[in-house]
Chain A
């Protein structure tokens, strides 16, 4: 502790202003100590101090827990202050025969229950937002592979060039599918040629380089290890396989391509 504190004698301060200042400071400290005592020991306290002013009409200073009125009333009535409880813990409510009172209690309970459910729903909604992003990326992978057989071979070479490991390759593939999902209708309507595909792939390469890292971090957050991520992707493809029947007519080639996809991943 810095400095030497001078200990004062406990006697009345004669000068008026220092006395008032001392009263203010010590009153604050006194209230603080009383507050701590109430918190630590579950006691109920009332402290009442007369004013500094000699005017008999001046206001009193007081601090109380639970409240000054409560403690003083209990003291004057010669009994302990009543404990504070929640309203639904009241025993007389269980034995009550008043319909109005019971109906009000039920309405209050319903309101509280509804509020709690709403809070719980908000919490769940925040959790769902985190999971939503990887799912949308997984859906796209199968559509792209099914549509373009020539593109598949070219894409395989592209992955070897742009990424070092298989994990990154698969992540890059997801990003490409994400981009191409909106263009699916155009690809079906237009006759595909090699120039269009080569230009499209070049653009996709740029996209892969920029977004691959972000996707990798997302997977790292959502899964414990990369292996689990890959298995999750495969399961997702299998589940969405049935939806392709509504979009594409080539059943046999789809099955063959999905078989190739699984073999490549293994």
Chain B
């Protein structure tokens, strides 16, 4: 467990960088091992670094060659379909974060609607047409969910839903 937050940039000190590389490399290879054992599929890794002349292979040379042979036999679009690099990974992370943000916004809006519905005075006093439009959107979604639930109950689903 790390003691402080690590800045995501190249470590300037050579000795620290070397130690960090070795530790994180071992952790990474352990993760690959866990993945291969849990999911029962072969995987390999090729690592080039400035601390070793040749590449560092996991698990071994023959396995890597075998997997690369299988990879090269595929057509090109199959090879590159799930291929990622630094940029693709970063874009995917950004998309996931944006989805999470949108979900939180919806949740906040629903809670605000609940507070607004609790006190009737608030709606009539202030001119909040924009808020009302958003509230209408939330109410429509809830009505849709309720209608689907009614339809499911009529079709014979259990009345009390258990997760």
Residues of A at under 8 Å CB distance from B? 10-13, 19, 22-23, 26-27, 29-52, 57-68, 71-72, 74-76, 80-81
Contact = CB atoms under 8 A, between A and B. Distances in A.
A-B pairs, top 8 by smallest CB distance, nearest first, are: A41-B21, A49-B43, A59-B81, A44-B48, A43-B49, A12-B40, A59-B78, A23-B39
B83 A72 contact: no
Interface string B60-98: 000010011011001000110111111001100100000
A23 B84 contact: no
B22 to A, nearest CB: 9
Interface of B: 6, 8-11, 17-18, 20-21, 24-25, 27-28, 31-35, 37-50, 55, 64, 67-68, 70-71, 74, 78-79, 81-86, 89-90, 93
Contact of A26 (B27, B38, B40, B83): B38
Given A33-B27, A68-B85, A41 B35 contact: no
- Summarize B's interface: helix, strand, loop or mixed: helix
B47 A44 contact: yes
Nearest to B18: A41
27 contacts: A10-B33, A10-B38, A12-B37, A12-B40, A13-B40, A19-B40, A22-B39, A26-B34, A26-B38, A30-B35, A31-B84, A31-B89, A34-B28, A35-B89, A36-B24, A40-B6, A41-B18, A43-B25, A45-B47, A50-B41, A59-B81, A60-B70, A60-B79, A71-B48, A75-B68, A80-B48, A81-B48
B15 to A, nearest CB: 12
Nearest to A49: B43
Contacts of A39: 8-10
A59 B79 contact: yes
A40 B16 CA distance: 10
Given A43-B50, A75-B64, 8 more contacts: A37-B21, A37-B25, A40-B9, A43-B49, A49-B42, A49-B43, A52-B39, A60-B71
Given A50-B43, A50-B70, A64 B37 contact: no
Contact of B35 (A27, A71, A76, A81): A27
Nearest to A24: B39
Contacts of B17: 40-42
A30 B21 CA distance: 15
A49 B10 contact: no
Contact of A10 (B34, B49, B70): B34
A61 B86 contact: no
Nearest to A27: B35
Contact of B68 (A43, A57, A76): A76
A76 to B, nearest CB: 7
A66 B85 CA distance: 7
Contacts of A61: 82
A34 B67 CA distance: 19
Nearest to A14: B40
A90 B8 CA distance: 28
B130 to A, nearest CB: 30
